[in-house]
Homo-oligomer: A and B are copies of this chain.
Amino acid sequence: MSETKYIHEITLKVRDYECDMQGIVNNANYQHYMEHARHEFLLSAGVGFTDLRAKGIECVVRAIAIEYRTSLCSKDEAVCRLYLRREGPKFVFYQDIYRKSDNRLCTRGRVDTVATVGGRATRGDELAEFFGEYITE
């Protein structure tokens, strides 16, 4: 996969409380990094997660898959990159995290999301309106 697909990135400094007894970032915290990266992407696309909620649109995660390659440690910086594909009603975020110091891949992830209105999944057209230009074919 070419890195040129990425359309958004943020850099996060590892916080020591995110590291566990093994001295490395706890696995679940990568999911937190990924959520924050998605929400920052939404903001950069002109619409916040809380703004969508105010419109009655909830972005709901249906599935997540993460491969763990290299662990992040205290003092490391995580570069969270993503691109987005639409697959029918689903918006699939491909989210990879790299260690800033050497650009080494730490985690490779995929997050399947849908939009719901009134608790029911939609065909995705509400979000497509916001994401249109960001969707990778």
For residue A61, which residue of chain B has the nearest CB?
A: B27
Residues of B within 8 A of A21 (CB): 16, 19-21, 23, 50, 53, 74
Tell me the bound Cα distance from A73 to B22 in angstroms: 14
Copies of the polypeptide in the assembly: 4
Interface residues in chain A, defined as those with a beta carbon under 8 Å from any beta carbon in chain B: 13, 15-17, 19-23, 26-29, 31-32, 35-36, 39-40, 43, 48-50, 53, 58, 60-68, 73-75
* 17 A–B contacts, CB within 8 A, in A order: A16-B20, A16-B50, A17-B20, A17-B26, A21-B50, A22-B53, A22-B58, A27-B35, A27-B61, A27-B64, A28-B31, A43-B75, A62-B67, A63-B66, A64-B65, A64-B66, A65-B66
